[in-house]
Amino acid sequence: MRTRTGRARAVAGMVACGWLGLVGRWLLHAPAMPRQTTVAPMELVWLAPAVAPPVQRRHVPARRTRAAFARPAAPGTTLQAVALPAPAAPAAAPSADVLRAQARAWAEREPQPEVAPWADRAARLPGRAGERFAMREPPSVARALGKIGELFGGPGYDPDPCPRRRENVAALVAAGDSAALRHEVDFARRNCRP
């Protein structure tokens, strides 16, 4: 049993080394991107805005309305002119200096939050192991590399399949009788000593 496992590991190692060698050779001999030495500079052309010629309007006589045909005012009434206020000019936008001064004044009035840029940025997840539910730890690169390493015989790898089969049997017993459970028990009986 162990000789098969040793051979399988040796073959897997040779295949992995061969694959890495091929990829390395391909990367080393891949053609580099050609340099472009004759790059034409970009030329910007600013066009003057088009100015429309002034439109000459024809004088159109006012239409005669009913007010034009109205009777003239009585001799005792007079009309008075009323002065209307001039329309207000639109307010100019404040300059950048004024805006910066306002922002600085606002920032000085507001309380500053406690910020620790080098503090631990781990997320504070709700729940603990003893509460209603337990949160899984977020995935990490180290854990992913550890799992990949276990596939190739890294830390935690046991070439003996028996302990793993015993764990599988213990997990499958809770689910009840199944073909997977029978297969695991049969393998453990044939190949694993008590």
Domain boundaries defined on the chain:
159-194
Q: Which two tokens stand for residue 58?
A: 């024809």
Query: Which pLDDT belongs to residue 1?
Result: 46
Contacts of 2 (CB under 8 A, 6+ apart): 159
Q: pLDDT by residue for the chain (194 residues), tens digit each?
A: 456 778 888 899 999 999 999 998 888 876 666 666 666 677 777 777 777 777 777 766 666 666 555 566 566 566 677 777 777 777 777 888 988 999 889 888 877 767 766 666 666 666 555 555 556 778 888 888 878 877 777 666 677 788 888 888 888 888 888 899 999 889 888 888 76
**By C-alpha distance, which of 2, 13, 3, 1 is closest to 153?**
13
141-174 exposure pattern, b = at least 16 Cβ within 10 A, e = fewer = eeeeeeeeeeeeeeeeeeeeeeeebeebbeebee
8 A C-beta contact, residue 116 and residue 110: no
Give the total residue count for the chain: 194
The predicted model scores a pTM of 0.23
Coil, strand or helix at 127? coil
Q: What is the pLDDT of residue 170?
A: 87
Nearest to 153 by CA among 18, 5, 38, 1: 5
Nearest to 6 by CA among 160, 126, 123: 160
